[in-house]
Structure 1
Amino acid sequence: MTNTITWDDFTRVELRVGRVLEARVFPDARKPAYILHVDFGPEIGMRKSSAQITDHYTPESLVGRLVVGVVNFPPKQIGPLRSECLVTGFHDADGHVWLCVPDGEVAPGTRLL
């Protein structure tokens, strides 16, 4: 059974649309990952993230793509990278991640509610 949360619990998680401006292999990661530079619009700006999404995506296929990220987690040190957001996705039957993305063009920084 899923734990029930309140509306206030949900609204504390800041899910925003961002556009990937740069993606490259994260050579120091323990598991295969990319370093993403994501633009979350003028209010939030650019954030870096480590993303274990190498099974379905190449760095070139990620640049320009819209993603949904959590922007109000505290920064997390992942090896030499200070990850500043969490890019969201879903595991498939094989445990590989597919990104959670908007179904159309949405301005970077738009909040999910």
Structure 2
Amino acid sequence: MQTIDWDDFMKVELRVGRVLAARAFPEARKPAYVLEVDFGPGIGVRRSSAQITALYTPDELVGRLVVGVVNFPPRQIGPMRSECLVTGFHDEQGRVALCVPDRDVPPGTRLL
């Protein structure tokens, strides 16, 4: 494992956001949803493609808090432009479980 210093870590903008909308993304190569996530004042609403269909339905995602990287450059994924990376972890079966705060915190809060 490569080590990093504090300055490297601080370059990554990991922020809390609230999912406003989630829908199927049939144009994606792997099963995915398009998420609209509100990262609060100063950042706003960003879209993301998320391969989380094995553990979540669109209805149960709306209103949930997630942790996202908001300072990656936008990436074209099929017909949509992904503007952030919603974070998660693979379980033993390869399904993605979201990385989420365990308490309610305001959208835009930075992980430190």
**What residue is the counterpart of 2:67 in the other structure?**
68
Separation in 2, partners of 1:17, 1:43: 13
Q: Which runs of 5+ in 2 are unaligned?
A: none
Structure 1 segment 68-107 matched on structure 2, within 5 A = 68-107=67-106
TM-score by length of 2: 0.99
Q: Shift of residue 81 of structure 1?
A: 0.5
Q: CA RMSD in A?
A: 0.3
How far is 1:108 from its partner? Answer: 0.1
3-state SS in 2 of match to 1:42: coil
Q: Percent of pairs identical after alignment?
A: 77
How big is the shift at 1:27? Answer: 1.1
What is the CA–CA distance in structure 2 between the aligned matches of 1:13 and 1:42, rounded to whole Å? Answer: 18
Unaligned runs of 5+ in 1: none
Distance in 1 between the 2:6 and 2:94 partners? Answer: 30
Whole-angstrom CA distance in 2 between matches of 1:43 and 1:93: 37
User: 1:109, CA displacement in angstroms?
Assistant: 0.2
Distance in 2 of aligned mates of 1:109 and 1:75: 18
Q: TM-score, normalised by structure 1?
A: 0.98
Structure 1 or 2: more helix by fraction: 1
Secondary structure of the structure 2 residue equivalent to 1:10: helix
CA distance in 1: counterparts of 2:63 and 2:6, whole angstroms:
32
Between the aligned partners of 2:105 and 2:89, the Cα distance in structure 1 is 20
Aligned to 2:40: 41
